[in-house]
Every structure is written in C-alpha cells, then in structure tokens.
A and B are shown apart, each in its own frame.
Chain A
Amino acid sequence: MPTQERTEILRPVSNLFIAGSVLVALFLNALPWGGIWLVLRPDFVAVTMLYWCTHKPYRMGIGLAWAVGILSDVNDASLFGQHALSYTVLAFGGVVLNRRIRMFDLREQTTQVFLILLATYSVYAVVHWQVNGQLAWSYFLGCLTSTLLWIPVSALFQSVRQRRVERE
C-alpha cells in the first residue's frame, strides 16, 4: 500500500488550498483550550506547515513559515519572533529532509517528524527559559500529540489530493 501511495501522481495543489489549510490550523490553535487540554493540544499550525514543507518544499518554505510564525506570535501574545524562530527551524527541517521523509510510509515518517517537532518545541522552550527563567516540562507533551497528529493530517491531505484526480 505504501508503494502505491508513493507512485500515485497527485494533482498539483492550489496556493489557495495551502493558505486555507494554514488558516484552519491557526483557527484550531486559537480555540479556547484550557487546563489539561491546553497541555495536550497539538500544534496544528506546525503539523500543517510541516506537511507542506515536506510535500511542496518550493511552495511552503522557510520565509512563509517565518511569516506564519509572526501571525502565531500575535495570536498567542508571545514574544515577537518566538514562534517565528521555532517555525523557521521547523521549515528548515522539513525542506532539507523532504525527500528522505517522503521515502518512508506514514508510520515510519512519524519518527522523523518527531525529531523535527522536538527541535521546534525545544527552540520555543529555550527562548522562554532564557527570557523568563522557568521551564514547564509538560510543554513537551504537546510535541508527542503533534507527532501523533501527523498521521491523520497527512492522510487527510493525501486523500484530498487523490480524490481530485479521480474526479477528473
């Protein structure tokens, strides 16, 4: 099954679809999460952008990820550039490793994705630690749930892109 998926010719995605998916991810991040749900909340924006960085590295690159990071900073009222820096690292990982990641099937991809997301979360946490002098280890739980989110998110985008081929 993975070999079929890999050889399948996917329809080119429109820029509108990419932008829409990132907007929806921003919306999901902005939902009123609280308490334990906030700790467990995956970073929808990071996972969505990582998908596009690995599958369309010339569309969603480091510069765009940085811009989305700035939007996230305003959205979360965090330090200006904090999300931007971590998403820059995320996009770099995605763009550099894009062929490597696409070689594997979904289950195997998660280990690679986990490392990239871990680097992203670490950058954010290190900045926070440097500025405020405290670190909440529970923050890294979000990294695990984001990794788990990778499977449904990429399956969803993949299926959307395939269905468009069948309709033709």
Chain B
Amino acid sequence: MEGTQTFQVFNRGPSPVARLVFFSALSLLLMFVDARYRYLESARSLISELVYPVQRLATLPGALWQQSEEFFVGHQKLLAENRALHRQHEADMSQLVQWQAMLRENRQLRTLLALRQQSQPGVKFAEIVYAERDVFRRKVLIDKGSAANIQEGQVVMDDKGVVGQITRVYPWLSEVTLITEKDHAVPVQIQRNGLRSIAFGAGDTSHLALRYMPVSADIVKGDVLVTSGIDGIYPPGIPVARVDTIERDAAYPFARIVCTPLGGVDEHRYLMVLSPAQPLPARPEEAPAPSRQKSKKTGGH
C-alpha cells in the first residue's frame, strides 16, 4: 500500500476484488475438499449446532398448522377411523401369527441347511424435520441423529416401502438421501420370479429406472420390485417400486424400464429407520494371492 501512487483517506483494508478472489478461492477449496474427501464432516456438524435453532423454529409454523387441524377434526371421523384401524389390526394380527410360525419354521430350516440366520432389523421412528429445500436434491432431514445412535448407511422406510438411506449424521438430525436421488442405487429383485437388478434414481421426484436389463428379460408392467439384500445394506424383501413402463427397442441392447417407488418418498412425515444390517462375510479376494494363508477360505454369498 505504501508504494502505490493512489491516495487513500480511509484505510478500509483489502480492495473488493482482492476479497472476491480470496473468498472465492476459499470456497472452491472447501468444495473440492468436501466433494473429494470427507474431512469437513466435523466442521459441518459443529456449524449445524449453530443453525439448529433456526431450523427447528422453521418447522414450528407447519407443526402448529397441523396441530390446529388435528384439534378441529370431527368426532365422527375419528370414530370411523378408529373402527377401520381396529379392523385392520385384527386382520394384521391373524397374518402376524401365521408370519411368526413361518419365521420359526424358516429359522429351523435355515439351521438345518446351515445358512446364515437372517436377523430381524430393529426399528426407530423418526419425523421429517424438513424436506428437499434445494430444487436439485432429493434429501430430507429427520429428527434423530447421532444422539439416538443413528449411523450412516441405515435404511429408512415407511409403511409401504423403502424411502432412502441415511447419508450424513448430525448430533440431533440426520440426512436421508431418497432413492429417487439421481444415481442412487438399490439392489432389487422382482418379487414374481426373483430376477435380480439394480434400481437407480432418475433424478426427478417420482421415478426409478432399471438399467442394464436385457430386452428379453422377463419383466411385465405391474411387477413389484423388492430389495434383494445382496449388498448387505438393505435387508431383503422390502418393497421398493412397481414397474410402470417398459420400452423394448431392438436398436438398444437394454430395455428402458421406468418404475414408481412404492414408499411415499415425497409424502409422509413419519419414517422408520432400520437398525444397521449385520456385516456380510468379507468378500473373497479377486486374484488369490499365493502368500496369504487365508486364501483357502472360499466364502460365497
């Protein structure tokens, strides 16, 4: 500053251009680090505690509206709902008894066949604090965080099917990436015939795509896709989506299959977080290394 010819009455620090360059470079650096590595998660959770009051406050108007709506709901309507729920409960109970018998039988058979026991995932209930406020993203935040033992990778579902997966955990909140997020993959299986595939998020709110399915694959409109459980993250047998349209064009090697998610990806307020899946046995080495002692073990899954 001393060497320059310009005369400054008030010293206001660096020029706007210098500040622009400095802070832009800082932002670019942060973005690079955040996108490539995950060093900044602790800083993020620290700052999240700063903005937590604002976030919590922002849910108040909606909650108040809902409460007042619930308050003015009619007596008749409540009674009818109660009756319907009772009927549903009875129907479910009879099915539950059968299911428990089958579960026992299944466990016995699995022991007989020396297969790995399937664990029943525990469930935590969580409420959506707010949903996708970014036009580009398919994420929601729920009100349980690391304080409630939520971990990254846990599966989130509602009563109808898979909704998403926990991708980031804050102390009191966690971030759920919905299955409709672009390129989010769920290993699935067709319920009717057990054909395996992978469902990818299409990026818009309401669709999934099955990629790399040959034109001749046995899929019909209306097929229900359930999780296959192969990845060890999603427990097997949870409904994911229903096949909507199938375009078989001989010019392409793969069929174009669009599905609609069964879980209320954009609708509900309450979700269930499944407890983390048991880790699968370690994947066997691709190329057997001769020096290793363990290479005898051939654990398939």
B30 in the interface, Cβ–Cβ < 8 Å? yes
**Would you call A77 and B62 a contact (CB within 8 A)?**
no
Say yes or no: is A21 at the interface (Cβ < 8 Å to chain B). Answer: no
A32 touches B130 (CB 8 A): yes
Assembled-state Cα–Cα distance A70/B40 (Å): 12
The answer to whether A31 touches B139 (Cβ under 8 A) is no
Taking CB atoms, residues of chain A closer than 8 Å to B30 are 80-81, 84
What's the least CB distance linking B218 to chain A, in Å? Answer: 32
B198-212 CB mask vs A (1 if < 8 Å, else 0) is: 000001000000000
Taking the nearest CB of chain B, how far is it from the CB of A72, in angstroms? 9
Picked from A26, A74, A127, the residue with its CB within 8 Å of the CB of B44 is A74
List the A residue with the shortest CB-CB distance to B40: A80
**Residues of B with C-beta under 8 A to A78:** 134, 137
Min CB gap B74→A, angstroms: 26
Most buried by B among A70, A95, A127, A136: A70
Whether B28 contacts A85 by the Cβ 8 Å rule is: yes
Query: How extensive is the interface on chain A, given as a class?
Result: 35 or more
Residue of B17, B35, B47, B137 near A74 (CB, 8 A) is B47
Interface residue B148 (Cβ < 8 Å from any Cβ of A): no
| B88-112 to A contact mask, C-beta < 8 Å, 1/0 | 0000000000000000000000000
Among A63, A80, A131, the one with the most B-chain Cβ atoms within 10 Å of its Cβ is A80
Q: Which of A27, A39, A58 contacts B54 (CB 8 A)?
A: A27
Question: Is A33 in contact with B182, judged by CB distance below 8 angstroms?
Answer: no
Let me know if A128 is at the binding interface, CB within 8 A.
Answer: yes
Find out whether the CB atom of A136 lies under 8 angstroms from the CB atom of B136. Answer: yes
Tell me whether A105 is interfacial, beta carbon within 8 Å. Answer: no
Are the C-beta atoms of B50 and A71 separated by less than 8 Å? yes
Asked if A31 and B61 sit within 8 Å, CB to CB, the answer is: yes
B194 → chain A closest CB, angstroms: 33
CB-based contact A63/B19 at 8 Å: yes
B57 near A81 with CB under 8 A, answer: no
- Residue B250 CB within 8 A of the other chain: no
Which residues in chain B, 115-135, are within 8 Å of chain A measured between CB atoms? 130-135
Chain A residues in the interface with B (C-beta under 8 A)? 23, 26-27, 29-34, 38-39, 41, 58, 61-63, 66, 69-71, 74-82, 84-85, 88-89, 92, 95-96, 127-128, 131-132, 134, 136, 138-139, 142
| Chain B contact residues, CB within 8 Å of chain A | 12, 16-17, 19-20, 23-24, 26-31, 33-35, 40, 43-44, 47-48, 50-51, 54-55, 57-59, 61-62, 130-137, 139, 141, 168, 175, 182, 203, 266
